[in-house]
Chains A and B, each alone.
Chain A
Amino acid sequence: MEHIDFSLVDWSRAQFALTAMYHWLFVPLTLGLSFIVAFMETLYVRTGNPEWKRITKFWMTIFGINFAIGVATGIILEFEFGTNWSNYSWFVGDIFGAPLAIEGIMAFFLESTFIAVMFFGWNKVNKKFHLLSTWLVAIGSNLSALWILVANAWMQNPVGMRFNPDTARNEMVNFWEVLFSPVAINKFLHTISSGYVLASIFVIGISAWYLLKNREHLFAKRSIIVAATFGLVTTAFVVLTGDGSARNMAKYQPMKFASMENLYVGVQNAPLVAIGILKEDAKEASHKKQDFRFEIEIPNMLSYMAFLDPNAYVPGIKDLVHGNPERQILSYKEKSELGKIAITSLAEYKNAKKAGNDRLANAAKIRFEENYKYFGYGYYAGRDIHELIPSVPTTFYSFRIMVGLGVHFGLLFLVVLLLTLKDKIAKKRFILYTMLWTIPLAYIASELGWVVAEVGRQPWVIQDILPTIAAVSQLKPASVQITFWMFFLIFTALLIAEIKIMTKQIKKGPDEDKSAADTASANN
């Protein structure tokens, strides 16, 4: 009899994905805009020019509208680890809980305290204290990203822990290993810099709209200069850290890497498919590398990307599923047998312990420890092993669209910055439209990045150790369905409200009365 309730698992995943994706609609703008606003206010404090204050305050208003809804969706994510992934919460809570608590103590209070000064302190505190508050908000938001991304990275590459059979959970043995794992550092840098890029696109896009409407020229140009510079620098950073992420993935999550590349049969000198269209009916059994309708390849590039060596061998999905003795890759079937040994040894250990039979307990413990690294595969013993392959088309296309858009963003920043510095931007209507219409593309790229990271690692909640089927809470699928739709409705309503409020604010433009700089803008 099937003991896994897949309807429960799927709805729980859907609910988490829904919350995460909604949350991520608001977070990158917060991460980046907080810094952009801080740069702008710094320019105001340095120059004393009231136009900079006006610019700062406008973007700050946008920041506030966006921030509120980020907070609303964020709280749900934190608690969903408990409500919907209760087994997970115990199994790795000893490691995973710490970053969440530190996030609260270190980052959220910093953010919420100084955000009040930022919004309400203009007439109450001096300029320097206000500027400091704005910077602290930016640092606070980004620190909160650090801790949650450390936690996420740890799920993709669990380090610094040991399983304790007595408490049936993983326990932290090295905090620094968790914090400074290369995956964590890379993930943090890649994710926050992608947020900076999105916020920069947002600022130049809105500024372009003002120029298209022939309004607020000085405001728009100054905003563009700050944002395009920031965007250009951070795009370079995104590329660099993205490259690092791919290498980490190849090393720690080879299945995610292979599925992202639609690579079924492992090869040396693997080429990178820059652009490709998959055949829809491709099944793993018959699947070969040529299962593209259309492709453009860069020779040796994939091997180089993954291992910094054009001759390196990159394992394919088939090698990982069916094993490849030549390359010392165990098949999933073998791994699931070893995982089963780990799981049953754990049960034997606990029973022997209970019965007071230390000899038996020790033997079971040794067996358990030898096989622990396959623990999660044990839940798939006797099951269809193909459940362990993530969706290839989803990861393949998501990755390519993300990268393609990233290239577009980088070029756009460069062109826009040059044109603005030469004071020609206002006349280039095509570029201005491109800037405006790149805003939704930035959101798409950003979300797709998470799709690659999270769909690509399925079914693992903790890589190789805990699959989703053993991580959920014991609930009725109907309960989770109801809450899914509850969240869906409220998030969607709030998203519509947010977009409408923002559009109104943008149409209204920066405050007129507070600034003497309008004349300056007319002269410029």
Chain B
Amino acid sequence: MFEAFSYITLQHYWWIIVSLLGAILVFLMFVQGGQTLIYTIGKTNDERTILVNLLGRKWEFTFTTLVTFGGAFFASFPLFYSTSFGGAYWVWIVILFAFIIQAVSYEYRSKAGNFLGKRTYETFLLLNGILAPLLIGTAVATFFTGSQFSVNFMNITRLTGDKMPIISEWTGPAHGLEAALSLHNLALGLAVLFLSRVLALLYFMNRIKHAEMMERVKKQLIINAIPFVFFFITFVIWTLLSSGFAVNPETKEVFMQPYKYLHNLIQMPIVAVMFVLGVALVLIGIIRPLTCFEKCSTKGIWGAGIGTILTVLALFLLAGFNNTAYYPSTFDLQSSLTIQNSSSSQYTLTAMSYVSLLVPFVIAYIWIAWRAIDTKKIDIEELESETHVY
């Protein structure tokens, strides 16, 4: 069936899949947000144990989503993988490092003989919790603000001279870390960081049975929602008012177009609806538990979670669709990556599209498995009866 799709349709289809994975990843980063709140919400050892275990049963999904996001991006848009990972080296390495230290921390934190000590593993969780959302947010912001690199396929034919036969060359001064120096990028990074904390608090509301902790959660929800909204609005307005990286559909030439992303929003009404609906759901998800805690506290994570996915998906589509360069180069505009010039071949995209049919099954079994083990809210008694505790 996918054979009947045109190349450009497949490229769009895969951009949607990659965007969706990215959007789910941002939602699942509530695990990271939660890691930064362990000592804020948990005042006693028991309370912290509850939090760590609650997050510890979900961290692998965030991790796996990140790995799958990377794999899918590689398979469908290899030029991005090549250019961004090899070029913005340091920003990706720091992100990866933050995930190495997370992967062991849950399992090793409370185990006897863990070498580095409980506090070290908790610090690892904190570092991962801050760096991952902040830097992933910052890196995604460069989809709108651009980076400094050049791409030239001819480079692989270099046999002499003083340069290596490498296609992509990064010209940014700090191999990616320079992205974090731009306030525009940082605004998104900080928005994602505070969003992940907000989502974590909503997740705690959904899963914890503990009156005192709930009081702290409610208070923190307000404290974190305000900077989230501030940074998010800053980023959105800044982006919509900036010039964007447009592609001439005939000549494939990349040029700067004023208000490009605003135009994209207007020209793609479905994306606009998705965006507005997403933002509204996130806000409702935050406000409702505060106004009707008794009834609505468990539902906030669903509203805000689905809202996050819709909003991030809309942002990715704004960056990649409607003749836009999604990974622009400010050093050499014509090196900018578009979903057309950076994608895999039609054959590979077709083959991969069949694999994508597995995704609904994956979601179904995740759902079944979660339902099976998350039957009731968590408290310290439940943990005491548990045989595998972090």
Contacts and interface: CB of A to CB of B under 8 A. Distances in A.
A355 interface: no
Interface residues of A, number: 105
Interface in A70-115: 71-76, 78-79, 81-87, 89-91, 93-98, 100-106, 108-115
Contacts of B99: 72, 75
Nearest to A95: B348
Given A72-B99, A90-B167, A493-B115, A105 B89 contact: no
Contacts of A479: 89-90, 175
A282 interface: no
Contacts of A83: 85-86, 89, 92-93, 96
A339 to B, nearest CB: 10
B285 interface: no
A168 interface: yes
B345 interface: yes
B142 interface: no
A306 B347 CA distance: 35
Interface stretch (B43-51, B155-163, B271-279, B298-306): B155-163
Interface stretch (B72-80, B199-207, B220-228): B72-80
Given A89-B74, A89-B86, A97 B81 contact: yes
Interface in A154-185: 164, 167-169, 171-173, 175
Interface in B218-256: none
Contacts of B84: 82
B68 A472 contact: no
Contacts of A504: 111-113
A100 to B, nearest CB: 4
A87 B81 contact: no
Interface string A55-79: 0010001001101110111111011
Contact of A78 (B70, B114, B385): B70
Interface residues of B, number: 85
A466 to B, nearest CB: 9
B67 A75 contact: yes
Contacts of A101: 68, 71-72, 74-76, 352, 355
B143 to A, nearest CB: 16
A133 to B, nearest CB: 7
B111 A65 contact: yes
A340 interface: yes
Instruction: Say what secondary structure dominates the interface of chain B.
Output: helix
Interface stretch (B34-42, B188-196, B359-367): B359-367
A175 B185 CA distance: 39
A121 interface: yes
B87 interface: yes
Interface string B27-70: 00000000000000000000000000000010011011011111
A305 interface: no
B113 A501 contact: yes
A3 B347 contact: no
A2 to B, nearest CB: 9
A194 B90 CA distance: 36
A347 B162 contact: no
A90 B168 contact: yes
Interface string B378-390: 0000000111100
Given A81-B81, A105-B68, A473 B89 contact: yes
A175 B57 contact: no
Nearest to B63: A71
B386 A120 contact: yes
Interface string B104-124: 101110011111100000000
B82 A116 contact: no
B175 to A, nearest CB: 7
Contacts of B348: 94-95, 97-98, 171-172
A64 B103 CA distance: 11
B68 A109 contact: yes
B344 A106 contact: no
Contacts of A129: 372
A343 B159 contact: yes
A87 B96 contact: no
Indicate the member of B159, B358, B370 with the most A CB atoms within 10 Å: B159
Interface in B320-354: 344-345, 347-348, 351-352
A197 to B, nearest CB: 25
B86 A109 contact: no
9 contacts: A68-B108, A86-B85, A90-B78, A102-B352, A104-B64, A168-B156, A470-B165, A501-B112, A501-B113
Interface of B: 57, 60-61, 63-64, 66-72, 74-76, 78-79, 81-87, 89-90, 92-93, 96-97, 99-104, 106-108, 111-116, 153-154, 156-170, 175, 344-345, 347-348, 351-352, 355-356, 358-359, 362, 365-366, 369-370, 372-373, 375, 385-388
Shortest beta-carbon contacts, A-B, top 7: A86-B86, A93-B78, A82-B85, A104-B68, A97-B75, A473-B86, A72-B103
